[in-house]
Structure 1
Amino acid sequence: MRVLEWLALLVVCVTFLPESVRSEPLVPCFFVFGDSLVDNGNNNIIVSMARANYAPYGIDFPLGPTGRFSNGLTTVDVIAQLLGFENYIPPHSQASGSSLLSGVNYASAAAGIRGETGRQLGARIDFTEQLRNYKNTVSQLVNILGSEESAAEHLSQCIYYVGMGSNDYLNNYFMPENYDTSNRYTPEQYADALANQYRQQLKTLYSYGARKVAVIGVGLVGCSPNKLASGSNDGITCVGKVNNAISFLNKRLTTLVADFNNKLEGSKFTLIDTFNMLGDILRNPGAHGFTNSNAGCCGVGRNRGQITCLPFQIPCTNRNQYLFWDAFHPTEAANIVFGKISYIDSSNRYCHPYDIRTLALL
């Protein structure tokens, strides 16, 4: 009887064995485009104030400060692990040779959909430039794999993670002292302009071989410690005008994804709704283990969000209980929650029409 019970337990364990401990990842490659939420070192080598290659950033990361804007893992690190990749996806600044076959991270802090976004922070790699870097990668893959057909087949199986737009609000539209977009556009007009440009950029990505694409909606920027510090009377209530403006873009992204799936042959786009994902966490942070959801673990001033985490500043010790690591970015604990929900959306609430695991299996 004990033998039968042991065998039954073994079957259960094998059945639910996560992709992260299997010998082969669920997909052959994972490509990442975005901003500081997923930058893992590309800004380290450019002249920019948007850098995180100093302590205490990376305090809980095995490799220390790498340029990740968190105390540890980013959301794409978590997703890569869940997909079964043994190694972190390398930043474009370090990727070369056969490592390109497994994917590249092109993300750059302060980058946006619009080219001018983030310019007050110095150099950054906007989405259009990230696409140029990816195009160069594709050319290298053609040489490695021997033909355009082989490269196209390889790329068609990859997961593409595209998370742009936060800075187009944070470091553009809601920074009238540096940009005139809020004078030129109403929030809805600005959302139209962003969505139209984003549509063309994503079509370019498709033309370079991307087929399985996760478009990440813009989150609740108005609930970040920085915006709470500057625009919330009580330091708790989110800044409505910021979140309302962002919601206009997210609605257009829903339409964009549906259009692509209907019109682009072989495409499988999905939208990850981080706006409502974060909103639900903020309504019940304790359910996810968070005791603080309105202040940075590392930062200066009101909500520890007026000035972001400074070099060698001593952060909070209970980092796993904080939703935000600094003035703008989540902790590793929060990124694990976001990554897991994006990978398997058991509620069918946040990922439309697929979660990332389903997208990988298509």
Structure 2
Amino acid sequence: MGGARGRRSPPPFLAVANKTSNPLFRGLQGTNFASAGSGILDSTGQSIIPMSKQVEQFATVQRNISARISPQAADSVLSRSLFLISTGGNDIFAFFSANSTPSSAEMQRFVDNLVSLYTNHVKDLYVLGARKFAVIDVPPIGCCPYPRSLHPLGACIDVLNELARGLNKGVKDAMHGLSVSFNGLKYSIGSSHAVVQSIMKHPQRLGFKEVTTACCGSGKFNGESGCTPNATLCDNRHDYLFWDLLHPTHATSKIAAAAIYNGPLRFAAPINFKQLVDDQH
């Protein structure tokens, strides 16, 4: 949930939830409900905070804001707040770990289930007062260093990328349908998928020299383990698309943020994040 100003990310929910003078409960500060990682499914990973839990935590915030500044004022604050959702990749990796060679039917059932749950979570947030949804789609995760390290030839893992594309399309269609059916619901889908594809296709044009191997890690593509104290570290992380086996570098995130916030329809649609923020209607 957005509301905070400044360049720092909002604090994690549990770090501020118990503060009696919490500006979050006065609608003056944002918070991160998924600071340990997010999942659409409740079953995705022990360290992942599922969206259902995040919605429960937000319901607590909504009740506290209403109690402190009146329900009407709370509605006004929440309708102007930005709800940033970036999830799905962890669910896909968990599915792949359990079944690395799924059939087309199994993949479709899995994606359909994710989209259905995702849609229900957005509906729940809408009922609680959310109106502006900034969605970030799933990048081509099959091209991360970790999946590449699993491929005999070091290529991208097609199954992971196909699942990402399927989920992205399903969420895109679902958000459009919700915007038609729910009064006042506005959204933008920022395409990290398109940004990463652009970097991989034209790395030097965007200032990158290495788009397959991680800056920090070990093994093939530095993708066989995480960035630990004993890992191999690159000389200049700004030259790299990937920081570790799964995550982008700061340089990558900076380009993605600029493209999604104030870029063309290719990177954010049907409007970009700036237009969503500035929309006062």
Q: Same fold (TM over 0.5)?
A: yes
C-alpha distance in structure 1 between counterparts of 2:143 and 2:130, whole Å? 33
Distance, in Å, in 2 between the alignment partners of 1:182 and 1:111 is 23
Q: 1:111 Cα deviation (Å)?
A: 3.2
Match of 2:41 in 1: 114
Partner amino acid for 1:260?
Answer: L
* Counterpart position of 2:144: 224
SS at match of 2:133: strand
The whole-number CA distance in structure 2 between the counterparts of 1:110 and 1:153 is: 29
Quote the sequence identity (%): 28
TM-score, normalised to structure 2, is 0.90
Match of 2:83 in 1: 160
| Residue 193 to residue 185, structure 1, CA distance change in 2 (3 Å) | farther
* Aligned pairs, number: 273
One-letter identity of the residue aligned with 1:190 = F
Q: Which moved more, 1:210-219 or 1:108-117?
A: 108-117
Root mean square deviation, CA, Å:
2.1
Provide the residue aligned with 1:343 in structure 2.
261
**Is it true that 1:316 corresponds to 2:238 in the alignment?**
no
Aligned-residue offset at 1:124: 3.0
Q: Which residue of 2 aligns with 1:11?
A: none
Equivalent pair of 2:12/2:35 in contact (CA under 8 Å):
no
3-state SS in 1 of match to 2:212: strand
Q: Is the counterpart of residue 30 in structure 1 residue 30 in structure 2? A: no
The answer (yes or no) to whether the contact 1:108–1:126 under 8 Å persists in 2 is: no
- The residue correspondences of 1:53-68 to structure 2 (distance < 5 A) are none
Contact 2:217 2:232 in 1 (8 A): no
Distance (whole Å) between structure 2 residues aligned to residue 87 and residue 175 of structure 1: 34
**1:315 CA drift (Å):** 2.4
Whether contact under 8 Å (2:59, 2:128) holds in the other structure is yes
1:166-212 per-residue CA deviation (whole Å, 9 max, x = no partner) reads 01111x210127x9x95895212211111011110111111111111
TM-score by length of 1: 0.71
Paired position in structure 2 for 1:291: 209
Distance 2:160 2:65 in 1: 41
> Is the contact between residue 301 and residue 307 of structure 1 (CA under 8 Å) also seen in structure 2?
yes
Mapped partners of 1:232, 1:141: distance in 2: 54
Instruction: Give the deviation of 1:335 after TM superposition.
Output: 0.7
Q: 1:210-289 to 2 correspondence within 5 Å?
A: 210-231=130-151, 233=153, 235=154, 237-289=155-207
User: Any stretches of 5+ residues in structure 2 without a counterpart?
Assistant: none
Partner of 1:269, secondary structure, is strand
Aligned to 2:50: 126
1:88 aligns with 2:5: no
8 Å CA contact 1:199–1:256 kept in 2: the answer is yes
Contact 1:225 1:295 in 2 (8 A): yes
- Is structure 2 residue 116 aligned with structure 1 residue 196? yes
Render the CA deviation track for 1:96-117: whole Å, top value 9, x for unaligned: 4343122101114453101111
What is the CA–CA distance in structure 1 between the aligned matches of 2:8 and 2:266, rounded to whole Å? 30
> What is the alpha-carbon distance in structure 2 between the residues aligned to residue 88 and residue 275 of structure 1?
22
Gaps of 5+ in 1: 1-28, 32-79
- Counterpart residue identity of residue 188, structure 1: Q
8 A contact 2:222–2:232 mirrored in 1: no
Deviation at 1:361, TM superposition (A): 0.7
For the pair 1:302 / 2:223, whether they are aligned, the reply is: no
SS of residue in 2 equivalent to 1:187: helix
Q: Which residue of 2 aligns with 1:36?
A: none
Q: Deviation per CA, 1:30-52, whole angstroms, max 9, x where unpaired?
A: 17xxxxxxxxxxxxxxxxxxxxx
Structure 1 Cα separation of the partners of residues 23 and 232 of structure 2: 36
State the SS of the aligned residue for 2:115: helix
Question: 1:229-253 CA deviation, whole Å, 9 max, x = no partner?
Answer: 11251x2x32222101221111111
User: Secondary structure of 1:330's match?
Assistant: coil
Aligned equivalents of 1:245, 1:229: Cα separation in 2: 19
Q: Give the aligned partner of residue 58 of structure 1.
A: none
| Match in the other structure for 2:98 | 176
**TM-aligned CA deviation for residue 301 of structure 1:** 0.6
Question: Aligned to 1:215, what secondary structure does the other structure show?
Answer: strand
- Decide whether the 8 Å contact of 1:232 with 1:239 is kept in 2: no
Counterpart CA distance in 1 for 2:166 and 2:63 is: 36
